[in-house]
Amino acid sequence: MQNDLIIAGFGGQGVLLIGKMLAYAGMADGKEVSWLPSYGPEMRGGTCNCTVVIADRPVGSPVVERPRVAMVMNLPSLEKYEGMVKPGGLLLVNTSLISRDVQRSDLRVVKVPANEIANRLGNPRAANMVALGAYLGATRAVSLAAVEGLVRETFAGKAKVIDSNLAALQEGYALGEREAADGKAVSQEVGA
């Protein structure tokens, strides 16, 4: 069983960080993991992405051209990755920054107004945590508890930041779970 996903967005949205947290959490859950960042000649505000693989046996290719899941945090990322997700795969869309609909009809789509939720919770920088929560709620790829532990570790000593990030994570998780229960999202077994 393998979970793989590409997380993409603007530099500064924290897509590399949530990818790393997933890999750490997967490792804490006893899984095999790999995290591969894009490291091209990017500029601040440019696009960036990472590929995370979480598997029950040693990870083969850390390079994934047809991911089972894509999490897109901005429009250029939707444009780039919508066509690459495996048929039957899952697309998490940050609807706060992406106004157009997903064109493919063979994907499960979870719409996450990540920035709106983060703003409402009083920490605009936690939009990535909302999206990460939604991914976990929809797929249960790693345990929420493992990621919560990492949030506490990452922001150790900053109680307010921990609280708002945990709230963002949990709200995203509930949203992802709800969408999955509605049958719009998908369980772990996506694609071939």
Partner 1 sequence: MAKKLMKGCEAIGEAAIKAGCKLFFGYPITPQNEIPEYMAHRLPQVGGTFVQAESEVAASNMIYGAAGSGERVFTSSSSPGISLMQEGISYIAGSELPVVIVNIMRAGPGLGGILPSQSDYFQATKGGGHGDYRLLVLAPWSVQEAADLMQDAFDLADYYRNPVMVLGDGLIGQMMEPVEFKAERTPCKPLPPKAWVATGCSGDRPTNIINSLFLDPEVLERHNQKLKAKYDLMVRDEVRCASYGTDRPYEVLVVAYGTVARVCSTALDDLREDGVGAALFRPITLFPFPYAELRAAAENARAVLVVELSTGQMIEDVRLALEGSRPIHFLGRQGGMLISPEAVSERVSAISAGLPEEVRHG
C-alpha dist (Å) from residue 19 to 36, 43, 159: 9, 20, 23
Pick one of 5, 6, 18, 36: the residue that binds partner 1 (CB under 8 A): 36
Q: Minimum distance from CB of 56 to partner 1 (Å)? A: 13
Contact call for residue 3 and partner 1 (CB under 8 A): no
Count the residues of the shown chain that bind partner 1, applying the rule CB under 8 A.
Answer: 22
Contact region for partner 1 (CB under 8 A) — 20-28, 68-76, 166-174, 176-184?
A: 20-28
| Contacts for 172 with CB less than 8 Å, ≥ 6 apart | 112, 114, 117, 129, 130, 131, 132, 133, 134, 135, 136, 137
Residues 45 and 10: their CA atoms lie apart, in Å, by 5
Q: Minimum distance from CB of 60 to partner 1 (Å)? A: 3
Residues 135 and 185: their CA atoms lie apart, in Å, by 10
Site string for partner 1, 42-71 (x = CB under 8 A): -----------------xxxxxxxx-----
Amino acid (one-letter) located at 128: N
Which residues of this chain interact with partner 1, rule CB under 8 A?
20, 23-24, 27, 32-37, 39-41, 59-66, 192
